[in-house]
Every structure is written in C-alpha cells, then in structure tokens.
C-alpha cells in the first residue's frame, strides 16, 4: 500500500552525470507520487573513440543492480530507469534482461524509457517515426534495429553527436528545435526523442503543436508510463499530449 505521507513512491535510477531527469521530474510533480533518486556510477564519461559509447552503456548496465539496491532503502512501490541507451542497446531481449535482473533482486517492476516509448507508440498507433538522440554514430544502427523489433520503421534520425555524457545536458533549446524539425520527414507519424539528459520536455510539448503529431520525449513519456502503471491518473498540462490527455 502507498505510504500515507508520501503517496506512491517511485524510485528513479539516473546516471551520475544526468541532472535533467531530476529537474524535469521535479517540474512534473504530482501530489499522489513521490520521487526518490539514486545515481548510477559511470565508468566511461567521454566518447572520443567509436567504441566509447558501447563501454559507457555496458558500464551503466552493470551498475544498475547496485543502484537499485540503494533505492530499496526507501521502500519504493516501483522503479523507473532514467537512461534510454542501456535498455535499447541489445534490443528487446537486452531490455528484458535488465528488467528481469531487477525483478529478481528487488521484487519490483522496473519501467524503462523504451517500455514507455513502446506504450506511447502503441497508443498513437504510430509505426513510422523520426528519432532524435544525443548519441555518437555507433548508436544509429542500434536504434533502427531496436525499433524494427517493435515493428516500427525509422524514417529519419537526427543525432546530435554529443562527445560525452555530460555534454548531453548542455545542448541548447535551439538545437533541439532544429533536430525535431529535421526528424519530421514525409510519412512520419510520431517523433521519438531518446537520451534522458536532453532537456527536451518543454520543447517537445511545444513541438507537438507546430509539427502536428505526437512527440514522445524520453522523460515525460517514461513518467507518464510509470504513473499509469501504479494507478496514478493525474493529467498534467504543458508536458505533451500523453500526460495531458492519456
């Protein structure tokens, strides 16, 4: 049962360099839920060589169980993962392996950004998408492969080619606007944004208006999915159509 003082407690795991997840969730607060955050240690912060991002992803994935153990001290009702690259890197099987490990260790469900995106795309019945990410080129094929497993075709990718985990949070709004515009090619039914440290929540909500289609930004989409999984039906204006209408 949820705590009478704290409502539903959602434990959030976010990379050590990531300030955006905490910032955006704080802005999207609802009275029925409390967020507790623990930081995932990062071994590979800079991405100078082609294989650096792979090492970053592997290190984060390896450190997720220990971070989840920290969060169990607050007795959360649900866990939410605040990073997208780790659960998509090895496809649906890799995402499930991460979730299964956490379920075995904690007894709790772990909601990942790719779970949330899948749910959002299903809601909107979108099978052709444009994708915006902060990642180096090595991630492009991984992203196409992942969405292919979902039966979703990536028609366009706009990758911002950040050179470190820390650089993601420094991308300015004008670059995000340009990225959303570039990912909006003929035939696209929705835009998906991955990379939880990109400060896109407000930009994405505004982009839905001028693009005229759903924009599934990582943090609002994952927050929507987590809230609905624990039965919190609060609808929030200003953070996109998922949180406002669904």
Answer yes or no: are the C-beta atoms of 241 and 213 closer than 8 Å.
Answer: no
Q: pLDDT for 144-193, tens place per residue?
A: 999 999 999 999 999 999 999 999 999 999 999 999 999 999 999 999 99
pLDDT score of 44 more than 80: yes
Mean pLDDT calculated for residue range 68-77 = 97
Residues near 20 by Cβ (< 8 Å), separated by ≥ 6?
Answer: 168, 169, 196, 197, 198, 199, 219
The mean pLDDT value of the chain amounts to 96
**1 confidence band (pLDDT: 50, 70, 90):** low
**2 confidence band (pLDDT: 50, 70, 90):** confident
What domains does the chain contain, in order, with CATH numbers? 8-114+220-234 (3.40.50.12500), 115-217 (3.40.50.12500)
Helix (H), strand (E), coil (C) string for 84-115: CHHHHHCHHHHHHHHHHHHHHHHCCCEECHHH
For 8, 55, 155, the CA distances from 5, given in Å and listed in that order, are 9, 41, 47
């Amino acid at each position: 049962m949820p705590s009478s003082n704290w409502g539903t407690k959602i434990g959030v795991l976010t990379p050590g360099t990531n300030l955006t997840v905490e910032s955006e969730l704080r802005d999207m607060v609802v009275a029925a839920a409390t967020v507790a955050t623990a930081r995932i240690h990062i071994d590979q912060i800079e991405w100078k060589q082609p294989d650096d991002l792979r090492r970053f992803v592997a290190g984060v994935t390896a450190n997720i169980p220990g971070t989840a153990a920290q969060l169990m001290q607050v007795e959360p009702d649900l866990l939410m993962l605040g990073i997208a690259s780790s659960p998509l890197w090895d496809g649906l099987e890799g995402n499930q392996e991460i979730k299964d490990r956490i379920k075995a260790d904690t007894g709790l469900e772990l909601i990942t950004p790719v779970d949330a995106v899948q749910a959002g795309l299903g809601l909107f019945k979108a099978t052709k998408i444009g994708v915006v990410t902060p990642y180096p080129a090595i991630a492009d094929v991984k992203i196409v492969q992942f969405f292919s497993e979902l039966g979703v075709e990536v028609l366009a990718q706009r990758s911002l080619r950040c050179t470190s985990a820390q650089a993601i949070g420094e991308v300015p709004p004008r670059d995000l606007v340009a990225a959303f515009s570039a990912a909006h090619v003929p035939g696209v039914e929705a835009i998906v944004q991955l990379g939880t440290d990109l400060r896109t929540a407000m930009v994405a909500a505004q982009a839905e208006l001028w693009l005229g289609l759903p924009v599934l930004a990582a943090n609002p989409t994952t927050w929507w999915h987590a809230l609905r999984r624990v039965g919190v039906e609060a609808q929030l204006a200003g953070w996109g159509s998922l949180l406002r209408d669904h």
